[in-house]
Amino acid sequence: MLTYFNNEQWCETLDTMVYLLGMKLDDKGFVFVPRLVSNIEVPSDRLELNDQLKVLFLEKCKGLKEGVYKASLRVFNELCEKKEVLVGESSLISNRIEEFRTAIRTIEEYLEQGEKEEIHFQDVRFVR
């Protein structure tokens, strides 16, 4: 609880309130929320405090939004890189499957025709 009595103390109290709430927002280990108790109620003091706290909260919101944007962009880039790798692997797997099918057809033809006639092998592409 922060208490002030006069204008000089108000300036220090205002700075302290903003500082402590800033630390609270930045999760600096504070478990309490500072509370302002004034012996003299001056409306302009509350307005000044609220104005400074608005700035503090807006800065924190912008920082959070920017952090989320940067994290999202990083995740997007990582996923794009993974996609490129997976597309390449998929293409390689498709080529290997086609090689396998060609090899099986060739073996089937050989077994069906035996040694009776000359077998004409298809051109087979082997991709590594």
Number of folded domains in the chain? 1
**3-state class (DSSP) for residue 37:** strand
What letter would DSSP give residue 123? P
In a domain, 53, yes or no: yes
User: Whole domain around residue 80: which residue ranges?
Assistant: 2-113
Q: What is the mean pLDDT of residues 67-93?
A: 94
Please give the biggest Cα pair distance in the chain: 114
Q: Is pLDDT at 20 greater than 70 in this prediction? A: yes
| Residue 118: inside a domain | no
For residue 119, tell me if it sits in a domain. no
Quote the tokens at residue 22: 């800033």
> Considering the domain boundaries, does residue 75 fall inside one?
yes
| 59 — pLDDT class (breaks 50, 70, 90) | very high
Calculate the CA dihedral of residues 58, 63, 19, 36 and round it to 10 degrees: 40
Least trusted range by pLDDT, from 4-8, 64-68, 115-119 = 115-119
Question: Does 121 reside within a domain?
Answer: no
Average pLDDT of the segment spanning 51-62? 94
- Burial of 13 per CB tally in 10 Å (0-12, 13-18, 19+): buried
Task: List helix spans (H) across the chain.
Answer: 7-25, 43-113
Q: Quick check: is 109 in a domain?
A: yes
Backbone φ, ψ for residue 117 (5° rounding): -135, 165
What's the pLDDT score for residue 2? 64
Is residue 73, in this structure, part of any structural domain at all? yes
> How many CA atoms does the CB half-sphere of 8 hold within 13 Å?
0
Counting every residue written for the chain, the total comes to 128
Which residues is 38 bridged to in the sheet?
4
Residue 128 has pLDDT above 60, yes or no: no
